[in-house]
Structure 1
Amino acid sequence: MPFPDLSPDVVAEYRSDARAPEDFDAFWSGTLAGARGDLGLTVTPVEDGPVFQVSDVSYRGFGGHEVKGWLIAPPGASSVVVKFIGYNGGRSFAHEHLFWPSTGRAVLVMDTRGQGSGWAPGATPDPVGSDPAHAGFMTRGILRREDYFYRRVFTDAVRAVEAAFTLYPRVAVAGGSQGGGISLAVAGLVPGLSAVMPDVPYLCDFWRGVTVATRDPYLEIARYLAVHRGAEEAVFRTLSYFDGVHFAARATAPALFSVGIMDTICPPSTVYGAYNAYAAPKQMARYTFNDHEGGGPFQEMRQKDWLAGVMPA
């Protein structure tokens, strides 16, 4: 397969020309202020085994809506990784999230509202409707920043981290693809994180993603615009409030990124757009001959070693 984006020898130097709206910070501070209040956090043990305790988690996210999750904790854990899920996946079953507990850390898995019917089941509905939208989630509420789907998701994610901080003194965030994009949003919105681990992150440098990617989900936006001629300005105005490039520029925690140079879903230039804007110490794990699967288990092992240096178990 040919390289689908910029050539490998130049893509690492790519810098996005996306610019944050002047009221980007005010929009997000207002959004989060409106969501704060009683977390309504419940942690209900469902399995107390000899190695890990598994708990069903519930808390109040955007709009006070209930968000579900799993908390899986080894005895004596003093740190937690908050894990965000890839596009249209849900929290699924607890035993699928044992990697971080196996390193001595707890993991808090956030169920993504409205998703969980593509490849892994979810349990959190999204009770908010939208204008006409293309199938999928990328265009739900896309004409207005206040209505956009990811405003709710990113707020849910911040609340998940706030819940994690009530349980453990040290918190890292991680995720792949959409989960990587959510982790970048949290990195730019929440101070005090110990580490950020975005793998092949989605939701970065939207204009380039929509015009370079050859597989969904970015192409949902292109198909929407092919029907809604004349909506381009409004669409990309909305997306400018949700771009991982802008959250990266506000991050304060050390980060370990990964990128697949043959990625046809999240073009590597979009990943480097966020990486090169990232304002805190950072490293990139590069997988030259991999598509969107990136490093897979190789990256997990790299994360384990890297996290040991910045957030001991």
Structure 2
Amino acid sequence: MPLTDLSLAQCLALRPDLDEPADLDRFWSRTLDQARATVARPSFTPVDTGLTQVTTYDVTVPGFDGEPVRGWLHLPTGVREPLGCIVEFLGYGRGRGLAHEQLLWASAGYAHFIMDTRGQGWSTAGGDTADTASLGGAVPGFLTRGVDSPQSHYYRRVFTDAVRCVDAVREHPAVDLDRIVVTGISQGGGIALAVAGLVPGLAGVMPDVPFLCDFRRAARISATSPYTEIAEYLRLHRDRTDTVFSTLSYVDAALLASRATAPALFSIAMMDDICPPSTCFAAYHRYAGAKDIRVYEFNGHEGGGGHHRREQLRWIRELLAPPHPTGAPPLHDPQLA
């Protein structure tokens, strides 16, 4: 697979001048204050997965506008002290799946929360998260849903959901609220960056080949969906270019990354034709906290795969070194449900 974007040397030197809305911080402060004003509380319902070493909860979180957002919380069985927690956001078009499918982080001894992305999941038992807002003349996909205004844009709802999921895990007694890390691949990586810029006090951030960064450049150079949704919309609506990119600037993860201060481990793939590496580097360079990066020069959007999971496991082990055992009884009480 050939390079589809700038070289590594060019990306390392890149410092794009992104258009930042003057009211970006006020916009998100108002949005999150409104979401947190709900009286609804998260619920944690035990699930029988047939697994003996991992305990799983079916979680419902009041997200944007108080709407229910689903998730799984996995805990190593027999937890006796608060654990470091990995909060994971998913790639484009993916939902939380089945309860037993994603066990890496719980197997490594951490709490693991997986957020179901509104409108993108599926379930045979009604366990997905719906997006109730009108499409507003969007082309197929999610990038142009509500794109006429930042107030109505799809990712305003998704980012709010993600923040509220972090709020929710902080309420669970098996989670150490000072050792929470957010992560995700592609769309999930972009959401993780946004959350890192919106939620103080995180222990770390692990964005992999992040989507949702430097929208204007991505729309101009990417020939592969999902970024092509923007070009397709503007091909039909020739007079809305300024409006579209103004709206998208409010949910640009590269802009929100400049507010993030938690330690970060990025991954970027130089032959990525879905999330062009120059757009990922835009977020990396603007990231305000301590940061490290793994670059996969000959990989596409699959990124580092298992090799990068190994890097993350090492990084997380050092970052979230557990306190000394307390000998206390197990913390994840099923009566929490």
User: Of the candidates 134, 142, 152, which is equivalent to residue 137 of structure 1?
Assistant: 142
Cα distance change of structure 1 residues 19 and 61 upon mapping to structure 2, 3 Å threshold: same
**Which residue is equivalent to 1:296?**
305
Matching of residue 113 in structure 1 with residue 111 in structure 2: no
Q: Is the 8 A contact 1:16 1:245 kept in 2?
A: no
User: Of the candidates 82, 85, 88, which is equivalent to residue 83 of structure 1?
Assistant: 88
Q: Give the partner amino acid of 1:65.
A: E
Report the CA distance between 1:45 and its aligned residue.
0.5
**Which residue is equivalent to 2:235?**
226
Q: Is the 8 A contact 1:68 1:124 kept in 2?
A: yes
Report the CA distance between 1:39 and its aligned residue.
4.6
Name the stretch that deviates more: 193-202 or 44-53: 44-53
CA distance in 2: counterparts of 1:255 and 1:231, whole angstroms: 36
Q: Deviations over 1:197-217 (max 9, x none)?
A: 000000001111111112100
Q: Deviations over 1:19-61 (max 9, x none)?
A: 3111000000000011003352110011274311011000100
CA distance in 2: counterparts of 1:256 and 1:122, whole angstroms: 32
Q: Give the partner amino acid of 1:14.
A: L
Matching of residue 267 in structure 1 with residue 269 in structure 2: no
CA distance in 2: counterparts of 1:2 and 1:125, whole angstroms: 38
CA distance in 2: counterparts of 1:144 and 1:176, whole angstroms: 27
Structure ID, larger Rg: 2
CA distance in 2: counterparts of 1:299 and 1:208, whole angstroms: 26
Q: Give the partner amino acid of 2:60.
A: S
CA distance in 2: counterparts of 1:12 and 1:291, whole angstroms: 18
**Which residue is equivalent to 2:212?**
203
**Which residue is equivalent to 1:44?**
45
The secondary structure found in structure 2 opposite 1:249 is helix
The gaps in structure 1 that reach 5 residues or longer are none
Q: Give the partner amino acid of 2:89.
A: F
CA distance in 2: counterparts of 1:183 and 1:97, whole angstroms: 18
CA distance in 2: counterparts of 1:224 and 1:132, whole angstroms: 9
- What pairs with 1:18-37 in structure 2 (closer than 5 Å)? 18-37=18-37
Q: Give the partner amino acid of 2:41.
A: G
**Which residue is equivalent to 1:8?**
8
Q: Is the 8 A contact 1:213 1:267 kept in 2?
A: yes
4+ residue runs of structure 1 moved beyond 3 angstroms? none
CA distance in 1: counterparts of 2:300 and 2:8, whole angstroms: 13
The secondary structure found in structure 2 opposite 1:95 is coil
**Which residue is equivalent to 1:278?**
287
CA distance in 2: counterparts of 1:203 and 1:103, whole angstroms: 29
- Percent identity, aligned pairs only, is 49
Report the CA distance between 1:122 and its aligned residue.
6.7
Q: Deviations over 1:101-138 (max 9, x none)?
A: 11100101000001125xxx971111111310100111
Matching of residue 237 in structure 1 with residue 246 in structure 2: yes
Q: TM-score scaled to structure 2, two decimals? A: 0.90
Q: Deviations over 1:233-257 (max 9, x none)?
A: 0000001101111111000100000
Q: TM-score scaled to structure 1, two decimals? A: 0.96
User: Of the candidates 254, 258, 261, which is equivalent to residue 263 of structure 2?
Assistant: 254
Report the CA distance between 1:95 and its aligned residue.
2.0
Q: Deviations over 1:252-286 (max 9, x none)?
A: 10000000100000000000000000000001110
**Which residue is equivalent to 2:329?**
none
The gaps in structure 2 that reach 5 residues or longer are 323-337
Q: Is the 8 A contact 1:90 1:122 kept in 2?
A: no
Report the CA distance between 1:312 and its aligned residue.
2.3
Report the CA distance between 1:2 and its aligned residue.
1.9
Cα distance change of structure 1 residues 173 and 39 upon mapping to structure 2, 3 Å threshold: farther
Q: Is the 8 A contact 1:46 1:55 kept in 2?
A: yes
RMSD over aligned Cα, in angstroms? 1.5
**Which residue is equivalent to 1:185?**
194
CA distance in 1: counterparts of 2:319 and 2:91, whole angstroms: 25
CA distance in 2: counterparts of 1:141 and 1:162, whole angstroms: 26
CA distance in 1: counterparts of 2:145 and 2:256, whole angstroms: 21
Q: Is the 8 A contact 1:196 1:253 kept in 2?
A: yes
**Which residue is equivalent to 2:132?**
127
